[in-house]
Amino acid sequence: MSLTRRAMLGALGGLAVGGTVASVVGTGIAAAPENASPAKTGRFEQVGGDFGWKPHKLDARVCAPVAYDGYWHKGYACGYGTFYGIIGMLGEQYGAPYNQFPFTMLEANKGGISDWGTICGALYGAVAAFALFWPRKERNAMVDELFRWYEKTKLPIYNPGDAAKGVKGEIPSNASESVLCHISVARWCYEHKKENGSKERSERCGRITADVTTKAIEIINAKIDAGESWKGAYPKQESVAYCGECHSKGKDADIQKGNMDCTPCHGGSEHVQNKFKDHP
């Protein structure tokens, strides 16, 4: 039975028939005999094996508008839009198991995970899609490429034209220099004198959802072609390499965790100094 895009956007992924889902989806918890011990059932084993879904190439020109619409769908926002723009579109084209995913799970990424301003939800949606197909050793290069591109690229690029749901026409862009929602949004609002609660800011994030989907699909398609040998084009950030000379594994002060650009938080600008001491 085929599903319409409207039905797919609101899909809960076949959760209504819990026992049937694993057999339809080809992943999930492997069935075990009643009263069997965890050691005998193979706890943590998945039907179809880890990373058992097969990736397919997608056309970003087709998927980007869907990701943009997904951002606005019931206010589910960036993580939902990006993930649906990839996995939902695989479902529309290839059916199960892709169309059985409970897509609303990704709604938790709104506002950098429930408005906490942490990782940009659009990025998480893309990485979650990567992780359905590739294990960490292969996926890390894909994540590095996507995240470094996001830090350095002036976004948004995508323009929905007359299909815009927030603000039509051109809107300003900038490089966030960070994968954090808090910094990405604040920097854009500060540079362009916009409010976080404005329609322009929502439109900006909707368009970035389409941009991230486009870049993620570019990476997925290249990965499918090159296999394990695929490598990204973006080099390690200068700040990460510089700070890593002292603060990475095996160095004098091994305290650094992470690969994001160090400068937004450790660059010494007045905006990252102690704002609580003697604040009026």
131-175 confidence digits (pLDDT tens)? 999 999 999 999 999 999 999 999 999 999 999 999 999 999 999
**What is the amino acid identity at position 99?**
N
Residue 242 counted as domain residue: yes
pLDDT recorded at residue 244:
76
pLDDT recorded at residue 23:
40
Residues 126 and 227 in one domain: yes
Residues 129 and 244 in one domain: no
Helix (H) or strand (E) holding 32: none
Residue 46 counted as domain residue: no
Q: What is the CA radius of gyration of the chain?
A: 21
Residue 201 counted as domain residue: yes
Residue 96 counted as domain residue: yes
Q: Cα separation of 122 and 180, whole Å?
A: 11
Residues 251 and 219 in one domain: no
Q: Cα separation of 231 and 238, whole Å?
A: 19
Residues 96 and 206 in one domain: yes
| Total number of domains in the chain | 2
Nearest Cα to Cα of residue 150 among 67, 47, 260, 4: 260
Q: Cα separation of 202 and 204, whole Å?
A: 5
pLDDT recorded at residue 2:
47
Residues 223 and 250 in one domain: no
Residues 185 and 212 in one domain: yes
Q: Cα separation of 194 and 189, whole Å?
A: 5
Residue 279 counted as domain residue: no
Residues 156 and 203 in one domain: yes
pTM for this entry: 0.83
pLDDT recorded at residue 1:
41
pLDDT recorded at residue 203:
98
pLDDT recorded at residue 103:
97
Residues 195 and 251 in one domain: no
Residues 129 and 224 in one domain: yes
Which residues touch 53 (CB under 8 Å, ≥6 apart)?
A: 26, 27, 97, 98, 132, 133
Burial of 195 (0-12, 13-18, 19+ CB in 10 A): exposed
Residue 211 counted as domain residue: yes
Residue 15 counted as domain residue: no
Q: How many Å separate Cα 247 from the centre of its chain?
A: 28
DSSP category for residue 171 = -
Instruction: Please name the residue ranges forming H helices in 154-268.
Output: 181-192, 199-226, 238-247, 263-266
Residues 98 and 191 in one domain: yes
Residue 16 counted as domain residue: no
pLDDT recorded at residue 264:
78
Residues 257 and 225 in one domain: no
Those residues of the chain that have pLDDT short of 70 are: 1-41, 242, 271-272, 279-280
Residues 202 and 258 in one domain: no
Task: Note down the domain range covering 138.
Answer: 60-231
